[in-house]
Amino acid sequence: MKKPTISTIILIIIIAIIGLYALGEVDYYSMKLVHENNVESPVLTIPEIGLSEKINNVSLSQGVYSPLDSFKPNTGDVIVYGHRTLQGSPFLRLDQVNVGDTLELQWPGIGEVDYKVTNKTVVPANYQLKTHENGNKIYLITCDPIGSTANRLIIEGEQASIGPIQEQVLLDNPQQSYGLIIALGFLIIGLIVSWFYNKENRIYLIATVLIISAIIFYFYFFPIEPDIIFSKIGFLNGDFL
């Protein structure tokens, strides 16, 4: 068996980097399923960008996050944060939300609360948002531009209506298969790329893909807190939100 060429080594490094990102995303979705076994979690839906995400009050590493000091609908202004890159990137397309669009909250014990978007702005990262008790607004916050923490994109909505909760929305989880899809996608695409590589060095690529895939599938079945993984690979992408 010939020694790997320089181009093969470079390709192995590229596959390994892609594998690290795939590992982080697979672990994120798998661990998210564990956390979201609680069907009483509120759900944020934005039809215009195809978003449907359960809201947690623990960490951004569990998805869309509303801090404990944020008010609930009908008691004050609601704040919701989400990553724009990595860890599911739930707010990746938040910049496509425009004034007049609808934000829907399915909130157990309260109902379906609809908000109309009234403002869309970008502010510095150190901007201090003021919320109010007995307020009727919602603020969706993420980083801007994509891949940078320099600014914050804030989507502001005002409560328009409240009605009966949609129980099926609370039960559905459209992302339940995402982790498996990413794991299988890495394995299949990696093997296809390896197969069409030159015969002399093909074995090195196949071995790399199989080893990384084995690790990815391990974390699919036995996930850990995503922050542990992303803290190790964050240097590849810088800070993100």
Please write the tens of the pLDDT for every residue from 72-117.
Answer: 998 999 999 999 988 889 999 999 999 999 999 999 999 999 999 9
Distance CA 64, CA 106 (A): 14
pLDDT of residue 68: 81
Could you report the average pLDDT of every consecutive run of 10 residues in the chain (241 residues)? 87 95 94 79 92 89 86 92 89 95 94 96 91 90 88 96 89 88 97 93 95 97 87 59 51
Residues 79 and 131 in one domain: yes
In a domain, 5, yes or no: no
pLDDT of residue 238: 52
Residues 144 and 42 in one domain: yes
In a domain, 187, yes or no: yes
> Beta strands of the chain (E only): which ranges?
43-46, 51-56, 64-65, 78-81, 102-107, 111-124, 137-144, 151-163
In a domain, 241, yes or no: no
Percent of the chain residues past pLDDT 70, beyond the cut: 95
Of 136, 171, 206, the one marking the end of a domain is 171
- Where residue 82 sits, what CATH number does that domain have? 2.40.260.10
User: Which residue segment(s) compose the domain that 50 sits in?
Assistant: 37-171
In a domain, 49, yes or no: yes
The residue assigned the tokens 């542990």 is: 228
Residues 165 and 100 in one domain: yes
Residues facing 113 on adjacent strands: 105, 162
Return the C-alpha torsion angle 87, 89, 91, 96, nearest 10.
170
Distance CA 240, CA 28 (A): 15
State the total domains in the chain: 2
Residues 189 and 209 in one domain: yes
Sign of the alpha-carbon torsion through 151, 157, 93, 53:
positive
Residues 116 and 161 in one domain: yes
Spatial CA neighbour of 175 closest among 52, 41, 37, 7: 52
In a domain, 141, yes or no: yes
